[in-house]
């Protein structure tokens, strides 16, 4: 089923997945507002920047998708051991992957369509699952995605009190062929365009009772 979506907002639209999501929605006839750091100067770690960018629109959106994220700061990689943890690098990962989406979600109640079904989807990652962690490592990235999952869950509860048809979820897109994953050749990957189609298929089929959940690209629930 392809949902009727008139307006969508994509945060992180200059990235591989964000751009593919915007392109896919536009191909369906959806009007898409694209926001990103490189395209619009949106710094999701800066509350003033987020407030300025999102307060500038009086549009209401059927879909709000947060597709921004970072694996590790430039020149570094995910930590393989405790002694590799660096406070400054960890703070940057947390700021982009967890605090940034929280700042976007602050605006969600005003941005969502006033009536009918609407969806806020925040891209997370399976490695943010505490229950599914059997390998260890990647401390900052795992912690930041676990944090954003909690933020999404809590926002879903609050937004759902007044907006019964609003759906707020965390989504795992799978391993996607982007700059993000270039250094991980052993992972099975899909193109950004395929990932976008997979994610939109899940988003289109979400029901209000699924709000607050964590789902993968196929629609399966991911353990917290």
pLDDT over threshold 60, residue 78: yes
What is the model's pLDDT at position 70?
95
Q: Per the domain annotation, does 221 fall within a domain?
A: no
Q: Per the domain annotation, does 38 fall within a domain?
A: yes
Domain count across the chain: 1
Tokens of 54: 């999102």
Indicate which CATH number applies to the domain containing 108: 3.40.50.720
pTM of structure: 0.93
Q: Per the domain annotation, does 176 fall within a domain?
A: yes
pLDDT over threshold 90, residue 99: yes
pLDDT over threshold 80, residue 33: yes
Q: Per the domain annotation, does 1 fall within a domain?
A: no
What is the model's pLDDT at position 114?
85
pLDDT over threshold 90, residue 184: no
d(CA 141, CA 11): 19
Domain of 73 in residue numbering reads as 7-216
Q: Per the domain annotation, does 224 fall within a domain?
A: no
Q: Per the domain annotation, does 173 fall within a domain?
A: yes
What is the model's pLDDT at position 188?
72
pLDDT tens digits for range 130-158 = 999 999 999 999 999 999 999 999 999 99
Q: Is the dihedral of CA 89, 154, 15, 37 positive or negative?
A: negative
> Which position has the higher pLDDT, 52 or 184?
52
Q: Per the domain annotation, does 211 fall within a domain?
A: yes
What is the model's pLDDT at position 179?
61
Looking at the chain, the whole-number percentage of residues with pLDDT higher than 90 is 89
What is the model's pLDDT at position 20?
97
- CB-CB contact of 113 with 173 (8 Å): no
Under the banding of pLDDT at 50, 70 and 90, the label for residue 8 is very high
Q: Per the domain annotation, does 222 fall within a domain?
A: no
Cβ neighbors of 88 (< 8 A, separation 6 or more) are none
Buried b (16+ CB within 10 A) or exposed e, 130-162: eeeeeeeebbbbbbbbbbbbebbbebbeebbee
What does pLDDT average to over the chain?
A: 94
pLDDT over threshold 90, residue 183: no
What is the model's pLDDT at position 178?
65
């Amino acid at each position: 089923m392809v949902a009727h979506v008139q307006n969508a907002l994509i945060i992180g639209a200059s990235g591989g997945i964000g751009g593919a999501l915007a392109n896919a929605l536009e191909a369906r006839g959806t009007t898409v507002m694209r926001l990103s750091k490189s395209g619009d100067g949106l710094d999701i770690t800066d509350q003033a920047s987020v407030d300025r960018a999102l307060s500038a629109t009086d549009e209401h959106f059927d879909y709000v998708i947060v597709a921004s994220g970072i694996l590790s700061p430039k020149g570094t990689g995910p930590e393989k051991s405790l002694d590799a943890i660096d406070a400054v690098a960890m703070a940057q990962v947390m700021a982009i992957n967890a605090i940034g989406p929280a700042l976007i979600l602050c605006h969600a109640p005003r941005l969502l369509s006033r009536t009918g079904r609407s969806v806020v989807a925040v891209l997370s990652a399976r490695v943010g699952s505490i229950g599914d962690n059997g390998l260890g490592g990647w401390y900052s990235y795992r912690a930041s995605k676990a944090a954003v999952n909690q933020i999404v869950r809590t926002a879903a509860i609050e937004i759902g009190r007044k907006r019964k048809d609003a759906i707020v979820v965390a989504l795992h897109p799978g391993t996607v062929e982007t700059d993000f994953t270039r250094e991980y050749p052993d992972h099975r990957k899909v193109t950004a365009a395929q990932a976008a189609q997979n994610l939109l298929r899940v988003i289109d089929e979400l029901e209000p009772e699924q709000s607050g959940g964590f789902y993968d690209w196929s629609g399966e629930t991911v353990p917290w």
